[in-house]
Amino acid sequence: MYSFANDYSEGACLQIMEELIKVNFQQSAGYGLDEYCLKAEEMIREEIGQPQADVHFITGGTPCNVLAISAILKPYEAVISADTGHINTHETGAVEATGHKILTAPNDDGKLRPEDIRRICDAHTDEHMVKPAMVFVSDSTEIGTIYTKAELKAIREICDEYGLMLYLDGARLGCALTANNNDLTLKDIAEMADMFYIGGTKNGALLGEAMVIVNDSLKENFRFYIKQRCSMLAKGRIVGVSFCTFFNNGLYYKLAKHANRMANALAYVFRKHGIKLYGNSTTNQIFPILENSLIEELRKDYVFLDWGAYDDNHTIVRFVTSWNTPVKEIIGFYDYFNKLMENRTK
């Protein structure tokens, strides 16, 4: 039974596995100070056009978010996020566990808007309230939508107006940057964000993300945070090797682009049958709004997640494709779904 449950169902992409094997028995320094990490850091600095940026390799996405937030904020400061943000919903209170409040804004499309930020900042006026000090966005968002360059710029501008740091969660940044409707580049993001991470786990690494610190004032002693927050690997080289491979000949983008294409194809299948997609994602997560009885049937043959009730008869579900989704599985789904829908209309 094929699974569209997520984009981390398999190991690593072939190229990364090959590189890991190649260096497996070579000795190197521990804790991310090895030659592979150093080389990957250099490659990323090049890729993002920021020769002075600091790059650190971290075990996963939640650790990245926790690290960024706890390193940026003073104890009484808070982070602003869309209420659907991963930090607010799917990190088991990891941010609060470091002592910080998340100030949230409701939304329909997974995105935070400048006016949300303004409203929240204006409402926090004295020492009886937390002090908003940073903004959290993710690209792509929890529902697969992406920020345009203009949107991100507007957020940057309001951050400047209010003296806020801007942090971008790039768990699925590859898919955002290779979406058909995207107009952002890694260089743009590095120019606008104070800190962000380039996701590896969901783009074909065994594990690991690349945290990028652009703002000089946030660089000092960041490795202390990594160690203290349980996010430093003894064999950090695993992640270093992965990112060397990712940014060799644009592999990172190719893997992401493939995931998007497979999702676009799936979206086409659903839309063909008049099924609406919640959020109209252009990246590797799509959210068909399906009749509950149809979901029951689909579950017999495919794995995917419930996302939330839509109405009494419909549920939003999530289909995720990945760097590794075989074209033949999409074709198989196309035939399968056509037949299923045909039978239902009989």
Q: Which of residues 106-145 bind its own copies (CB under 8 A)?
A: 127-131
* Binding residues for its own copies restricted to 31-60, rule: CB under 8 A: 31, 59-60
Residue from the set 118, 235, 272, 344 that interacts with its own copies by CB under 8 A: 235
Quick one: which of 69, 77, 346 has its CA closest to 218? 69
Query: Is residue 250 part of the contact set for its own copies (CB under 8 A)?
Result: no
- Stretch touching its own copies by CB under 8 A, among 109-117, 143-151, 221-229, 261-269: 221-229
CB 77 within 8 A of CB 102: no
Q: How far is the CB of 190 from its own copies (least distance, A)?
A: 24
Query: Is residue 26 part of the contact set for its own copies (CB under 8 A)?
Result: yes
Residue from the set 76, 187, 248, 335 that interacts with its own copies by CB under 8 A: 76
Quick one: which of 186, 168, 146 has its CA closest to 282? 146
- Stretch touching its own copies by CB under 8 A, among 29-37, 153-161, 176-184, 311-319: 29-37
Question: Which residue, 159 or 239, is less far from its own copies as judged by CB?
Answer: 239
Q: Which two tokens stand for residue 253?
A: 């983008």
CA dist list (Å): 94 to 73, 89, 97, 139, 307: 14, 10, 5, 20, 22
Question: Which residue, 49 or 99, is less far from its own copies as judged by CB?
Answer: 99
Query: Is residue 229 part of the contact set for its own copies (CB under 8 A)?
Result: yes
Query: Is residue 318 part of the contact set for its own copies (CB under 8 A)?
Result: no
Residues 120 and 130: their CA atoms lie apart, in Å, by 11
Query: Is residue 163 part of the contact set for its own copies (CB under 8 A)?
Result: no
Residues 159 and 194: their CA atoms lie apart, in Å, by 10
Backbone angles phi, psi at 51, to 5 degrees: -60, -20
Q: Which two tokens stand for residue 249?
A: 């000949």
Question: Which residue, 89 or 215, is less far from its own copies as judged by CB?
Answer: 89
Name the E strands within 70-204.
77-82, 102-105, 131-138, 165-169, 195-199
Say how many Å lie between the first and final Cα of the chain, rounded: 26
Question: Which residue, 152 or 195, is less far from its own copies as judged by CB?
Answer: 195
Question: Which residue, 21 or 150, is less far from its own copies as judged by CB?
Answer: 21
Query: Is residue 327 part of the contact set for its own copies (CB under 8 A)?
Result: no
Residues 322 and 113: their CA atoms lie apart, in Å, by 28
Residues 73 and 36: their CA atoms lie apart, in Å, by 31
Residues 18 and 20: their CA atoms lie apart, in Å, by 5
Q: How far is the CB of 146 from its own copies (least distance, A)?
A: 21
- Stretch touching its own copies by CB under 8 A, among 153-161, 183-191, 230-238, 333-341: 230-238
Count of residues interacting with its own copies (CB under 8 A): 72
Query: Is residue 99 part of the contact set for its own copies (CB under 8 A)?
Result: yes
Question: Which residue, 131 or 254, is less far from its own copies as judged by CB?
Answer: 131
Query: Is residue 285 part of the contact set for its own copies (CB under 8 A)?
Result: no
- Stretch touching its own copies by CB under 8 A, among 20-28, 44-52, 142-150, 267-275: 20-28
Quick one: which of 176, 182, 177, 152 has its CA closest to 166? 152
CA angle 321–326–331, rounded 5-degree value: 95
Question: Which residue, 65 or 260, is less far from its own copies as judged by CB?
Answer: 65
Q: How far is the CB of 2 from its own copies (least distance, A)?
A: 7
